[in-house]
Amino acid sequence: MVNLSRRTALGAGASLLGITAIPRFAIGQADNRPTITVAVQKVVNSNTLDVLREQSNVGERVFFTSLWEPLISKEWLGNLSPRPGLATEWKRIDDQTVELKLRQGVKFHNGEEMTAEDVVFTFSRERMFGNSEAKNRTTLKAFEKIPTPRPGKELPPEIIAVARRAWPDLLRVEAVDKYTVRFFNATPDVTLEGRLARYGSDIMSRKGWEDAASYLDWARKPITTGPYKVVEFRPDNMLVLEAHDEYWGGRPPIKRIRFIEVPEVPSRIAGLLSGQYQFACDIPPDQISQIEKNAAFEVQGGTILNHRLITFDKNHAQLQNPLVRRAFTHAIDRQAIVDSLWAGRTKVPAGLQWEYYGDMFHADWRVPEYNPKLAQDLLKQAGYKGDPIPYRLLNNYYTNQNATAQILIEMWRTVGLNVEINSKENWTQIMERGSQRAVRDWSNSAPFSDPVSSIVNQHGPNGQQQQIGEWTNAEMNQLCEVLETSTDRAKRRLAFRRMLEICEREDPAYTVLHQNATFTAKPKSLKWQASPAFAMDFRPGNYV
Amino acid sequence: MGRFIILRVGRALITIALVVTFAFIVLRLSGDPAQIILGPEAPPEVLAAFRRAWGLDDPIWLQYLHYFGAIAQGELGRSMRDGRSAIEIVAERIPITLALTVPALVLKLGIGIPAGVYAALHRGSLTDRIVMIVSVAGFTIPSFVLGLTLVLVFAVQLGWLPSGGQDSWRHAILPILTLGIGGAAILARFTRSAMLEVLGQPFIRAASAKGVPWQDVITRHALPNAAIPTVTIIGFMVGTLIAGAVVVESVFSWPGVGRLLVVAVANRDLAVVQCILLLVAATMVISNLIVDFLYGFLDPRLRSAKGQKAAGGQP
């Protein structure tokens, strides 16, 4: 019989407690990852975290790569070229069908494994398309009955429109097996892979959707696969993300990320300098040198997938003659704007295109050269008599917008163009039809790596510029169809070249000023690299 | 008294209806919420879907009728940004704003009134001049300049306090100081002027001549009579408790009603803007009403029209 004294019993008890307690304590202590605060001008505009509802630059920053992930990802810290995401490989079955093999062992934030069923649901009518139809479909198949949304889960109507704009001809997505899916398009389309990588094609958990009480509940805390999960979201105030330790790409390097809304630039900078924030985003270019005077801080960032444009209303009395619009384009010293207002930290791109277009990129294309003499000659040929041309202007919606406008006015005045600023308060007033609409500011993004995503999307027949009646061109519209439906890459490339010639030279719809850029300030001691996009990458390997 | 209250409340309701109507017209005529909320690059069909969903395609008079009809039934509408009830959105911001504005009001009263009284009682002295210089500086410096200066000193240079946010009570100190200093300066000047005016009145001289102790002259005769203009200002300050911190909330990233108002106006989020305006108008009207009643309490001569008339001939 064991003789158990009081002292031995207490000692044994203490040892047992120690055995059970020490590992927990050790695990608790081992998580010495930092909590960081990122000061941003705006967390999201729509007060939701749904990639289809929040289609904005600020949304891109908090979504990618922390929260949402697509099947085909981008090289976020490189040239944004495609790379495997939640799919490890993909192949074409035919011109209308793509098959993807899913990454195995991917866990959603709720602990469930991602399977083909989740991918099919992500692209379902219940989540994306509602009662909309693919543009070119002619029959309604019996197995694709339109489901009646459950109460509270009705989609906001703009989501359906956004989804259809992103996937105009997608018929259906099918699960071949647990880890294989096929995307069926109604028409041949070479951009399917690009569309799979675009903002909005990111995968969500079906169970996460079903468990949520309402659309809004889900949209405030979507269950996705990213390295960080939502723990708190206070609209117009802050978003707190926490490490998702089962992340397929490894253990996230940060315990918590707090994106906090600090609308004023001086307040963001003051918070950074005082150590309250580790990152201050949306730093205007004129503040960069001021921040970097302090040797402990640096400003990172640069160009993003967005170009600043000036657009023309060819119906305005003075702009009907394309020679006048051409004069506008040749009167602008774009490099001077980049050097003086952007501290040289962005660039004048090769027209409305981006290098990540790959073989569709025309490296030899240039924006119209700065040539005041040519501009004067063009005006003379056009018989322009100096009649006023209104320039509708918003108050610094874009970075440096007012200063750029003032410089442009002077450059145009130098060649003889009498452009008058007409200040407006919002976009409705800017785009309002009428005899006083002539010149305005705009920007153009490339959500995926093909010109369909930019020049067709905004300047084509279904793009906003034509829809609001500013500009149209019959040849351009035919070429848009070629670009959208042809699978002949050489023919598409030629078509795009011709579109650039029409829109930027012969019958200018717009002229590109410069590539847009975003800047983030941080302590030098933090080893982190900004991507050439609004997205902030805090995945394993990019934060020490 | 009953008629007085009915008249006052009726007038208040008309004021609120006018504010709401004016705001509706201005906001709806100056911008399309769909274009503003969805951004300049939003495709046409997305904009159309949004407009259809929120009835923005209807003629403006019909939208107004719908809106007013809903208000009559106690429904203030939903935010076009996320579909939540406007009342719910505004209600969750009110305590956050009051956490700044109520302590700031206490600070204004606690500093402004004693400083004003003291300066008046020591008119022409060095202290009076210092109080007035500080006071002039206090209310002429814009709140965003004062706020940022405080941030530079106490957050960036000294590192004592956070520069912004709403994580703890320490985050509230600088915004409360910013709000409080400006308001205290205004109160100090008003209190001083009112006191000086009362101190020059014959009844003060009479009370002193009768041998009433100076302290009693001040507390029983001067202060109650000087309270009328000061109470008017305090009433105004109480009226701005809900949305009077727009600039300070922006500078200090304080997520209160003021910042909500800025965001809602910028987005033409009509239901939210209207809800805030209703609240602000109601607060202002109620505080004015209370001030009117306080006048009667503080000055018996104002309690009735007859009293007012009688008081008209007296100093």
- CATH number for position A90: 3.40.190.10
Burial (0-12, 13-18, 19+ Cβ within 10 Å), B61: exposed
Are A341 and A455 in the same domain?
yes
The crossing angle, in degrees rounded to 10, of helices B170-199 and B126-140 is: 130
Q: Which among B32, B46, B81 has CB closest to A47?
A: B81
Q: Which among B45, B144, B164 has CB closest to A161?
A: B45
- Asked whether residue A106 carries a pLDDT value surpassing 90, the answer given is yes
Are A195 and A342 in the same domain?
no
Kindly report the nearest CA distance between residue B161 and chain A, in angstroms: 9
Q: Report, as an integer, the average pLDDT of B224-251.
A: 86
Q: Residue A332's domain is classified under what CATH number?
A: 3.10.105.10
Mean pLDDT check: name the lowest of A223-232, A365-374, B100-109, B208-217. B208-217
Q: Report, as an integer, the average pLDDT of A128-152.
A: 64
B260 touches chain A (CB under 8 A): yes
Q: What are phi and psi of A533, to 5 degrees?
A: -165, 175
For chain B positions 197-236, those within 8 Å of chain A (CB to CB) are none
**What does the DSSP assignment read for A437-479?**
--EEEEEEE-SSSSGGGTHHHHHSTTSHHHHTTS---HHHHHH
Distance of CA B36 to the CA centre of its chain: 29
First-to-last CA distance in chain B? Answer: 26
Say yes or no for a CB contact (<8 Å) between B42 and A464: yes
First-to-last CA distance in chain A? Answer: 58
pLDDT at A30 (0 to 100): 67
- Asked whether residue A29 carries a pLDDT value surpassing 70, the answer given is no
Q: Which domain holds residue A76?
A: 14-21+31-253
Q: Report, as an integer, the average pLDDT of A363-380.
A: 97
* Measured distance CA(B152)–CA(A380) in Å, rounded: 56
Are A328 and A191 in the same domain?
no
pLDDT at A143 (0 to 100): 42
B313 touches chain A (CB under 8 A): no
A40: DSSP letter: E
CB A448 within 8 Å of CB A195: yes
A303: DSSP letter: E
CB contacts, 8 Å: B83 with chain A:
156, 216
Neighbour tally for B7: CB within 10 Å = 10
**What does the DSSP assignment read for A479-539?**
HHHHHHH---HHHHHHHHHHHHHIIIIIS-SEEEEEEEEEEEEEETTS-----SSS----S
Say yes or no for a CB contact (<8 Å) between A46 and B82: yes
Best of B89, B163, B269 to disrupt the A interface (most A CBs within 10 Å) is: B163
Kindly report the nearest CA distance between residue B39 and chain A, in angstroms: 8
Q: Tell me the C-alpha to C-alpha distance, in Å, between residue B34 and each of A248, B41, B54.
A: 39, 12, 9
pLDDT in tens, A191-215: 999 999 999 999 999 999 999 999 9
CB contacts, 8 Å: A264 with chain B:
144, 250-251, 253
Are A229 and A359 in the same domain?
no
Are A224 and A363 in the same domain?
no
> In the sheet where A87-94 sits, what is the strand order?
A87-94, A97-102, A180-185, A170-177
pLDDT at A500 (0 to 100): 98
Q: Where are the beta strands (DSSP E) in A294-347?
A: 297-312
CB contacts, 8 Å: A46 with chain B:
37, 81-82
Say yes or no for a CB contact (<8 Å) between A267 and B163: yes
* Measured distance CA(B269)–CA(B103) in Å, rounded: 30
User: A91 pairs with which residues across the strands?
Assistant: A99
- Asked whether residue B255 carries a pLDDT value surpassing 50, the answer given is yes
pLDDT at A20 (0 to 100): 41
Q: Which CATH number is B86-310 given?
A: 1.10.3720.10
Interface contacts A/B by beta carbons within 8 Å: 149
Are A224 and A333 in the same domain?
no
Best of B27, B41, B146, B254 to disrupt the A interface (most A CBs within 10 Å) is: B41
In a domain, A155, yes or no: yes
Neighbour tally for A271: CB within 10 Å = 26
Kindly report the nearest CA distance between residue A99 and chain B, in angstroms: 29
- For the record, the structure tokens of A181 come out as 């899916």
- Asked whether residue A372 carries a pLDDT value surpassing 90, the answer given is yes
pLDDT band at A415 (very low <50, low <70, confident <90, very high): very high
Q: Could you tell me which of A242, A248, A228, A255 has the C-alpha nearest to residue A65?
A: A228
- Asked whether residue A13 carries a pLDDT value surpassing 50, the answer given is no
Say yes or no for a CB contact (<8 Å) between B148 and A162: no
In a domain, A211, yes or no: yes
Are A315 and A431 in the same domain?
yes
Say yes or no for a CB contact (<8 Å) between A264 and B83: no
Q: Which among B36, B53, B81 has CB closest to A46?
A: B81
CB A302 within 8 Å of CB A529: no
pLDDT in tens, B140-168: 899 999 999 999 999 999 999 999 988 88
Q: What are phi and psi of A440, to 5 degrees?
A: -155, 170
Are A50 and A158 in the same domain?
yes
Q: Which of A253, A284, A312 is the last residue of a domain?
A: A253
- For the record, the structure tokens of A164 come out as 């259809």
pLDDT band at A15 (very low <50, low <70, confident <90, very high): very low
pLDDT at A471 (0 to 100): 97
Distance of CA B77 to the CA centre of its chain: 25
- Asked whether residue B310 carries a pLDDT value surpassing 50, the answer given is no
pLDDT in tens, A221-248: 999 999 999 999 999 899 999 999 999 9
pLDDT at A170 (0 to 100): 93
- Asked whether residue A470 carries a pLDDT value surpassing 70, the answer given is yes
Say yes or no for a CB contact (<8 Å) between B37 and A275: no
- Asked whether residue A84 carries a pLDDT value surpassing 80, the answer given is yes
pLDDT at A526 (0 to 100): 94
Cα-based angle B284, B285, B289 (whole degrees, multiple of 5) = 115
Q: Tell me the C-alpha to C-alpha distance, in Å, between residue B254 and each of B167, B169, B171.
A: 10, 12, 9
- For the record, the structure tokens of B171 come out as 């985050």
In a domain, A541, yes or no: no
* Measured distance CA(A180)–CA(A115) in Å, rounded: 8
pLDDT at A24 (0 to 100): 42
pLDDT band at A8 (very low <50, low <70, confident <90, very high): very low
- Asked whether residue A389 carries a pLDDT value surpassing 70, the answer given is yes
CB A537 within 8 Å of CB A531: yes
- Asked whether residue A137 carries a pLDDT value surpassing 80, the answer given is no
**What does the DSSP assignment read for A468-484?**
TTS---HHHHHHHHHHH
Kindly report the nearest CA distance between residue A288 and chain B, in angstroms: 18
**HEC profile of A135-149:** CCCCCCCHHHCCCCC
- Asked whether residue A39 carries a pLDDT value surpassing 70, the answer given is yes
Neighbour tally for B23: CB within 10 Å = 18
pLDDT in tens, B173-217: 999 999 999 899 999 999 999 999 999 889 888 988 888 888 888
In a domain, A313, yes or no: yes
CB B100 within 8 Å of CB B245: yes
Mean pLDDT check: name the lowest of A334-343, A393-402, B94-103. A393-402
pLDDT at B303 (0 to 100): 62
| Count of structural domains, chain A | 2
Are A359 and A471 in the same domain?
yes
pLDDT in tens, B56-86: 888 888 888 888 888 778 788 888 888 888 9
pLDDT band at B54 (very low <50, low <70, confident <90, very high): confident
- Asked whether residue A17 carries a pLDDT value surpassing 50, the answer given is no
The crossing angle, in degrees rounded to 10, of helices A474-485 and A489-501 is: 150
Q: Which among B45, B83, B260 has CB closest to A236?
A: B260
Say yes or no for a CB contact (<8 Å) between B35 and A431: yes
Are A44 and A120 in the same domain?
yes
pLDDT band at A216 (very low <50, low <70, confident <90, very high): very high
* Measured distance CA(B49)–CA(B52) in Å, rounded: 5
> In the sheet where A419-424 sits, what is the strand order?
A228-234, A238-243, A256-261, A35-40, A279-280, A510-523, A297-312, A439-445, A389-394, A419-424
Say yes or no for a CB contact (<8 Å) between A45 and B81: yes
- Asked whether residue A55 carries a pLDDT value surpassing 60, the answer given is yes
Burial (0-12, 13-18, 19+ Cβ within 10 Å), A149: middle
Higher pLDDT, B36 or A459: A459
CB B245 within 8 Å of CB B259: no
- For the record, the structure tokens of B117 come out as 């009284």
Q: Report, as an integer, the average pLDDT of A254-259.
A: 97
The crossing angle, in degrees rounded to 10, of helices B257-266 and B270-298 is: 140
Are A205 and A316 in the same domain?
no
The interface predicted TM-score (ipTM) is 0.80
Q: Tell me the C-alpha to C-alpha distance, in Å, between residue A157 and each of A68, B57, B81, B188.
A: 22, 14, 12, 55
Q: Are strands A510-523 and A35-40 parallel, antiparallel or unpaired?
A: unpaired
Are A463 and A401 in the same domain?
yes
- Asked whether residue A515 carries a pLDDT value surpassing 60, the answer given is yes
- Asked whether residue B233 carries a pLDDT value surpassing 90, the answer given is no
* Measured distance CA(A478)–CA(A461) in Å, rounded: 9
* Measured distance CA(B162)–CA(B154) in Å, rounded: 8
CB contacts, 8 Å: A443 with chain B:
40-41
pLDDT at A142 (0 to 100): 41
pLDDT at A147 (0 to 100): 59
Helices vs. strands in chain A: H and E counts, helices first: 18, 16
Q: Report, as an integer, the average pLDDT of B9-15.
A: 81
Mapping DSSP to helix (H, G, I), strand (E, B) and coil, where does residue A101 land? strand
In a domain, A460, yes or no: yes
pLDDT at A157 (0 to 100): 81
- Asked whether residue A75 carries a pLDDT value surpassing 50, the answer given is yes
Mapping DSSP to helix (H, G, I), strand (E, B) and coil, where does residue B115 land? helix
B51 touches chain A (CB under 8 A): no
pLDDT band at A27 (very low <50, low <70, confident <90, very high): very low
